[in-house]
Structure 1
Amino acid sequence: MNNRKGREVCNDLYYWTNQVVNICLYGDSNAREWVLIDCGMPHSKQAIMDAAEKRFGHSGKPKAIVLTHGHFDHVGSLEPLLKEWDVPVYAHEDEIPYLNGELDYPKGDAKADGGLVSELSPLYPHHGIDISSNLYPLPHNGEVPYMEGWNWIHTPGHTPGHVSLYRERDGVLIAGDAFVTVKQESLYRVVLQQKEISGPPKYFTMDWAEAKKSVSKLVSLQPTLAVTGHGEEMEGEELEEALKRLVENFDQIALPANQKRH
């Protein structure tokens, strides 16, 4: 398992695994200005701060936090971090109701697919949070604040306001949970970090028709490297072939059993 391990995938992008979920630290090693993408599991504030200090060589706060979406494993340490850092948080406007106290996410679906992670999912936190005083919508022009050259792409399905981040000049993609590179429903595969392409985590995905469209949208970009919310990074020919397989066989690979046509 890769808990509390990090990896630089290009000179200004580093991802760090917080138990079963990845966060991204954007900025060159030792950069004075940097951006945090997603905020990991609950009770991980200090571990995330330590990882950032190790990456950048100082304890300075980020310029901003960007969220792919607001599920508990991606915002679990957000509120405690904001007490330390008090920085702007950017999310898609369709995700804001889950981040300003208006809405809760649906409970996890225990029958979405076989595996202990799915079976336990109704017990996972599904409540929204309220970070209104720090919360801003992502700019309508598609740019990502403090991340020059990056654009956000609306990739709904897993949640209504899910976004992925993409840099066209080198094809680097931060996919969030639009697709992942581990079968997240299986605790065994999560522990082993067995690399395989998968759709969004089945037990929490809200709209499968939209999720399928979002995967097709990302595949059309022909990314060269992808960091996902769960699992190890994937690049080059391995990524190209895996994404082709996913988009061509989305219903078989991604859909939960209770959504498949018989």
Structure 2
Amino acid sequence: MLNVKVYSLGPVQTNCYIVSNKQKDCIIFDPGEESARIIKEIRKNQYKPLAIFLTHTHFDHIGAVDALRELYNLPLYVHEKEVNWLNDPMKNGSGKYAELPNYIVNLPDKEHIIRQEQVIEIGSFKFNAVFTPGHSPGSISYIFEDDGFAIVGDTLFERSIGRTDLIGGSLEVLLKSIHEKLLTLPENTIIYPGHGSYTTPEEEMEMNPFLNGF
């Protein structure tokens, strides 16, 4: 059974997830900020990081990528539609806020560009990369079927949905992604969002006002 730890980081409290196994191997999802805090947790728990995965590349999900990758020599997995967002502050959103630094992630040549939905296997970890665009064109949800949870970024929240007024956003596309890719999961699947508390497909089908009438 996998262990999931969540850390709310940075100026907008973005959820970073560290998923680990019994051997202390781990995968890091959306390290948005506060690299020192993430590194402290990795050391405290004696984790052995294997990779970084991004649900999408908005600034609040990428801020600690370079620091972690440099320290642990980690591969980075990102959707092909948002590769060039990593070093473009206007596309990743940081350039719109004067109080923020320009968030730039350097992408080495040998990175892992996710071009199609696929099963991903790293060490003993096995999960599905499923495309859930709408909040951004390259949004990905990572589905751990055997362990009953999904890391969905800013696609679906507890009683809410991702915003669609940013570059490449679309309400119609987002709702289609939610209904076809997330609400079709087993009803008790734990949905881990990019912000806030976890939820389940069952709860959101019954209680989410943004999904009624779709």
Alignment of 1:74-89 (within 5 A): 74-89=61-76
Quote the Cα distance in structure 2 between the aligned partners of 1:15 and 1:129.
22
- Which one of 181, 185, 210 corresponds to residue 221 of structure 1? 185
User: Taking structure 1 as the reference length, what is the TM-score of the superposition?
Assistant: 0.67
2:91 to 83, 89, 105: 105
The alignment covers a number of residue pairs equal to: 206
Write out aligned runs for 1:1-262 (5 A): 11-19=2-10, 20-28=13-21, 31-41=23-33, 44-54=34-44, 57-58=45-46, 60=48, 62-99=49-86, 101=87, 104-105=90-91, 107=93, 122-123=97-98, 129-133=105-109, 135-138=111-114, 140=116, 142-146=118-122, 148-181=125-158, 197-202=159-164, 204=166, 206-208=168-170, 209-217=172-180, 218-223=182-187, 224-235=189-200, 237-242=202-207, 245-249=209-213
| Higher-Rg member (1/2) | 1
| TM superposition shift of 1:83 | 1.8
Say what the alpha-carbon RMSD is for the aligned residues.
Answer: 2.8
**C-alpha displacement at 1:125, in angstroms?**
5.9
Cα pair 1:27 1:34 within 8 Å, conserved: yes
* Partner AA of 1:12 in structure 2: N
More helix by percentage: 1
Change (3 A) 1:65 1:141: same
**Structure 2 residues not aligned, in runs of 5+:** none
Secondary structure, counterpart of 1:25 in structure 2: strand
Q: C-alpha offsets along residues 198-251 of structure 1, whole Å, 9 cap, x if unaligned? A: 1113553632232222122221224521110000112475344235x432256x
Deviating more after overlay: 152-161 vs 202-211: 202-211
SS at match of 1:231: coil
* Contact 1:157/1:205 (8 A) holds in 2: no
Identity over aligned pairs, percent: 25
Deviations 1:68-100, CA, capped at 9 Å, x for gaps: 11111100111122221121001111121223x
Contact 1:16–1:51, Cα closer than 8 Å, also in 2: no
Preserved CA contact (<8 Å) 1:21 1:40: yes
Distance 2:73 2:125 in 1: 22
Give the TM-score, by structure 2 length: 0.81
What is the DSSP-based 3-state SS (H/G/I as helix, E as strand, rest coil) of the residue aligned with 2:136?
A: coil
Unaligned stretches of 5+ residues in structure 1:
1-9, 109-120, 182-196, 251-262
* TM-fit CA distance, 1:122: 4.3
Alpha-carbon contact 2:191-2:201 (below 8 Å) kept: no
- Deviation of 1:126 (Å): 6.7
Judging by fraction of residues, say which structure has more strand: 2
SS at the partner of 2:196? coil
Deviation, 1:143, is 1.5
Q: SS of 2:91's equivalent?
A: coil
Letter in 2 for 1:46: A
Question: CA separation in 2, counterparts of 1:167 and 1:90?
Answer: 16
